[in-house]
Amino acid sequence: MQTPAIDVQNLCKNYGPVQAVDNITFQVPHGELVGFLGPNGAGKSTSMRILTTWLPASSGYARLNGYDVMYESMQVRKHIGYLPESVPVYGEMRVREYLTYRAKLKGVDRRGRAAKIDECMAKGRVQGVANRLLSTLSKGYRQRVGLADTLLADPPILILDEPTSGLDPVQIGETLATIKALGGRHTILFSTHVLPEVERVYDRVIIIDKGRIKFDETKKAIEGREATYLLEVRGPADAVAGFLREQPELAAVEAKPVEPDLTAFELKARDRKDPRELLAARVAAKGWGLRRVEVQRPSLDAIFNDVVRRRETVAVAPATEPAAAPAA
């Protein structure tokens, strides 16, 4: 079996009494584009800092391209491009100068260096600010310089912590397009708490909350999840509900009143066969009014809300959110 690009086993990190990462395990195969989601303080940045060797784990281990982040950190660094949440600022340097400095540090061959920097500036869409001082750039532009930086040594694995933070909607779209284009050739783990961003590009999503992995599924599995059918029927609610429950194509029927005479029915089909047309005809034949027929598949948004809401419902003790963390 091929070594996974990212292999995380029972990883834990505590900051004193705060369990920031609590026993997480996952593997990412080569070329997969993984959205790493979670609310504020979930443990995304901490996990990413451990994977990129900037922070030691309290226990467990992580390997990138087979190299242990703790014991083979220099090898790991050669295989990754890391965009931290806050890109370090060398305010007195100009963009091209900064990227040249970074390329030298990363050992990018002198002969191809200038061309590589141009290529990465194009991918990060920062050619227009090549001669600007970093201190004069907006956070969004600095983030894009950071993205260009991660690509300089052509690393197989990219770890991007909030790559779209501070960008305006147009820039977000462009950055997501860049990330999507980099997927496949690179293995990418990118964090965000903005769901529609992930929805546009991901192959797989991992949701972390309170340091634990609460959800881990591929796009294919999410899209193949069982659908719910929604029928809004005008008529006597009890009679309509009884009628629907008799239909052999349906496995479950749940009624929700909308107006005195109007009821929404959420239905699950047997054998995953779409029953909408059959039901529409039968309901009409009974003389009841059909106001809405829809198929609903669980969106990432609904899944995320479900995961986070479940946490809030289950919590019996008041949340013990620690005081603001000092910058790492």
Ligand X SMILES: Nc1ncnc2c1ncn2[C@@H]1O[C@H](COP(=O)(O)OP(=O)(O)OP(=O)(O)O)[C@@H](O)[C@H]1O
Nearer residue to ligand X within complex by CB, 37 or 269: 37
Nearer residue to ligand X within complex by CB, 43 or 163: 43
Nearer residue to ligand X within complex by CB, 136 or 305: 305
User: 308-315: which pairs have CB atoms within 8 A and are 24 or more residues apart?
Assistant: 308/39, 308/209, 310/214, 311/209, 311/210, 311/214
Which positions touch ligand X (CB under 6 A)?
15, 18, 20, 38, 40-46, 85, 193, 322, 325-326, 328
Least distance in Å: CB of 49 to ligand X?
8
Contact (CB, 8 A) for 40 and 47: no
Least distance in Å: CB of 194 to ligand X?
10
For residues 71 and 66, give the distance between their C-alpha atoms in angstroms, rounded to a whole number: 11
Nearer residue to ligand X within complex by CB, 133 or 307: 307
Nearer residue to ligand X within complex by CB, 117 or 167: 167
Numbers of helices and strands, H then E, in the chain: 11, 14
Retrieve residue 312's tokens.
């809030």
Least distance in Å: CB of 210 to ligand X?
8
Nearer residue to ligand X within complex by CB, 44 or 96: 44
Q: How many CA atoms lie within 13 A of 25 on its CB side?
A: 4
Nearer residue to ligand X within complex by CB, 242 or 322: 322
Least distance in Å: CB of 20 to ligand X?
3
For the chain, the C-alpha Rg in angstroms (whole number) is 25
Least distance in Å: CB of 180 to ligand X?
22
Q: Is the torsion defined by CA of 118, 123, 128, 131 positive or negative?
A: negative
DSSP assignment of 177-239: HHHHHHBTTBEEEEEES-HHHHHHH-SEEEEEETTEEEEEEEHHHHHTSPPEEEEEEES-HHH
Contact (CB, 8 A) for 294 and 233: no
Least distance in Å: CB of 132 to ligand X?
27
Minimal CA–CA distance to 190: which of 70, 45, 305, 318? 45
Least distance in Å: CB of 160 to ligand X?
13
